[in-house]
Amino acid sequence: MAAKDLTTSADLTEHDKGTGALRTQRPDYVDFLPPCNDACPAGENIQAWLALAQEGRYEAAWQELVNNNPLPSIHGRVCYHPCEEVCNRAFTDSPVSIHAVERFLGDLALQNGWQYQCPTEKSGKKILVVGAGPSGLSAAYHLTRLGHSVEIREAGPVAGGMIHFGIPAYRMPRAELQAEIQRIADMGVTITLNHRVDDVLAEKQADGFDAVFIAVGAHISKKIDIPTRDTGKVFDAVNFLSNVESGESLKIGRRVAIYGGGNTAMDAARTAKRLGAEEAMIIYRRDRDSMPAHDFEADEAIEEGIKINWLRTIKEIDRTTFKVEVMELDNNGRPTPTGEIETLEADSLILAVGQDTDTAFLKKVPGIEFKSDHTVVVNENMMTGQTGIFAGGDMVPTERSVTIAVGHGKHAARHIDAYLRQSAYIRPPRHELVGYEKLHLWYRTFAPKREQQKLPVNERHLGFDEIVKNLDETEALFEAKRCLSCGNCFECDGCYGACPENAIIKLGPGNRYRFDFDACTGCAVCYEQCPCHAIDMIPEPSTPTSNQVDSADDS
């Protein structure tokens, strides 16, 4: 008879413990960067506020959202949501409608009077912000939350910048726009209107400001040379939209031509229809694939009866007669003239060929350098060549959008805060990006996004009523729950239920799990069952330790 095995647990090494073969690998709780967070120019922790929204904790979700972006009601309407373009949910059915949930939370906050969280202690420092557009508003908000006193000085009669004067009310209703701006004022930010800053250094010194952030926006229409014999009515798009917003009476005629292919051209054409034009036609020198306007903007314009003349360029204007040349694309996709001329009739022309920033007032400031397009050079801290003067938004070399401008305001605020405290802001390291190929969606369910309702096409020309409607609570909750929580544990219990050795310990709601490596065999079932890839399998370390998953914030 074989001798009885008297080995006790105390005699076993760490590698001998467990119920299977010698463990060569072990699970490790990890956090990845979801693609939506990575793509957001404002640096929102989208996954975090979606998770709170799906629990029905709407105010907490809104507070998480405004940690990075103070204008969710605005962004839910005007942001072009690059986050949705990279959403991993698209591989299952359709992207999560992130912008729609953001708008729902933003509007709910306005309805319920939710307020920002502000510090009780003040730093004693004063900052001047030049320009009350999205970048200036964002910087003022974040600087105030950091304990500083802020005054915005705006040349125009209202705050909002190009959101107010460049985006028509059918896309951005003014009540919500001004309500979100007012909430920033209510937190203590002084907004001085009709005050043009011409001498930055003089105002900085005279009023004792410790730093300046300049964000004047791009509101000057670019010029274009079109030969004319007897030019008719010609408007530039920015002034046209601004004048409409101001209530001026514009005589544009029955037929209106719009020259350009960007979002401003689409807005100008659609606005012309609302002013009574029977026909509004866009003339653009490239094809649709090359146009800078977003697809949904062009789709909505076409829905409303806007005619788009692709591959056409204006050669000459004689009052109401336009001679346009047909273009064709060469092998590199560039438009080239064909010599073929067409004639179009229009009572007026709106030029929408881009905008420049008015940075001439900074020429007198020592150290500030400019690019050939008049944008201002800033360093990695968003500071210009003049110490203490920072810049952001449309006036620095970058792509232009409301969300990018808001992101600039946030990052400038962090660097200004560090400058005032004689330190340096160092952005925390970002987690590795998680792609769809890393997910293990064993529970995959086909659940397409809830579409936002729209104002019927035949009613849109009657005025500037908002076209896209809000989601109701049921729809917003459904949409939030479509989030896959890519790369970060959401406590689905997949690993807990799948482990054959009971080696996973639940730590309670919000605290996730940890591994009991005395029981774990390294079988990788938990890894295979984790739908969002919050578990990796790593080589067995020489000195094992328990591991616990924590929350991630890559904002």
Cα separation, 151 vs 134, whole angstroms: 15
pLDDT at 543: 52
CA 28 to CA 69: how far, in whole Å?
33
Predicted confidence (pLDDT) per residue in 42-68, tens digit: 999 999 999 999 999 999 999 999 999
Q: Predicted confidence band at 23 (pLDDT cuts at 50, 70, 90)?
A: confident
Tally of residues, the chain:
555
Please name which of 129, 126, 124 lies closest in space to residue 200, comparing C-alpha atoms: 129
Burial of 161 (0-12, 13-18, 19+ CB in 10 A): buried
How much is the pLDDT for 554? 46
Q: Tell me: pLDDT of 117 over 70.
A: yes
Compute φ and ψ for 325, nearest 5 degrees: -100, 135
| Mean pLDDT score across all residues of the chain | 91
Q: Is 538 helix (H, G, I), strand (E, B) or coil?
A: strand
357 pLDDT more than 90: no
* List of E strands, 40-123: none
Which pLDDT does position 463 carry in this prediction?
92
The yes or no reply on domain 12-31+488-539 and CATH 3.30.70.20 is yes
pLDDT at 10 exceeding the cut of 50: no
Confidence (pTM): 0.90
> In whole angstroms, what is the distance from residue 181 CA to residue 186 CA?
9
- Using pLDDT thresholds of 50, 70 and 90, give the confidence band for residue 249: confident
What is the β-pairing status of strands 149-153 and 126-130?
parallel
Q: Which one-letter DSSP state was computed for residue 470?
A: P
Mean per-residue pLDDT for 372-393? 95
How high is the pLDDT of residue 22? 78
**What pLDDT shows up at residue 14?**
43
Q: Is the pLDDT of residue 207 over 60?
A: yes
Calpha distance 436→86 (Å, rounded): 10
Cα-trace Rg, the chain: 28
pLDDT, position 544: 47
User: Do residues 57 and 48 make contact, with C-beta atoms less than 8 angstroms apart?
Assistant: no
pLDDT at residue 18, rounded to an integer = 45
Q: Looking at per-residue confidence, does 14 or 543 come out higher?
A: 543
**Given pLDDT bands bounded at 50, 70 and 90, which one contains residue 75?**
very high
Percent pLDDT > 70 in the chain is 93
Strands 348-351 and 233-236: parallel
Q: What is the mean pLDDT of residues 190-219?
A: 95
pLDDT at 220: 80
Q: What is the C-alpha separation between 292 and 288, in angstroms, rounded? A: 9
What gap in Å lies between CA 357 and CA 360, rounded to an integer?
9
Q: What are the extents of the domains in the chain?
A: 12-31+488-539, 35-115+452-481, 126-220+356-420, 222-353
Where does the pLDDT of residue 161 fall: very low under 50, low under 70, confident under 90, or very high at 90 and above? very high
Query: Do residues 282 and 265 touch, judged by C-beta distance below 8 A?
Result: yes
Nearest to 112 by CA among 201, 183, 168: 183
DSSP-derived secondary structure for 373-402: TSPBP--TTSB-SSTTEEE-GGGSSS---H
- Evaluate whether 157 touches 191 at the Cβ level (below 8 Å): no
pLDDT number for residue 214: 97
**Residues whose CB falls within 8 Å of the CB of residue 411, separated by 6 or more in sequence, listed in order:** 43, 382, 392
Confidence band of 15 (pLDDT split at 50, 70, 90) = very low
Half-sphere exposure for 253 (CA within 13 Å, toward CB): 18
The pLDDT value recorded for residue 17 is 44
35-115+452-481: CATH architecture = Orthogonal Bundle (1.10)
Task: Give percent of the chain with pLDDT exceeding 90.
Answer: 81
Kindly report, residue by residue over 428-485, the tens digit of the pLDDT. 999 999 999 999 998 777 899 999 999 999 999 889 999 999 999 999 999 999 999 9
CATH architecture of 222-353: 3-Layer(bba) Sandwich (3.50)
CB 76 within 8 A of CB 180: no
Pick the CATH number of 126-220+356-420 from 1.10.10.60, 3.50.50.60, 3.40.390.10, 3.40.50.300: 3.50.50.60
Contact 5, 27 (CB under 8 A): no
| Structure token pair of residue 242 | 């601004």
**Mean pLDDT lowest among 273-287, 404-418, 468-482, 537-551:** 537-551
Residue 296: name the closest of 326, 266, 323 by CA.
Answer: 266
35-115+452-481 and 126-220+356-420 share one fold: no
Give the pLDDT score at 2.
38
pLDDT score at 342: 95
**With 50 as the cut, is the pLDDT of residue 280 above it?**
yes
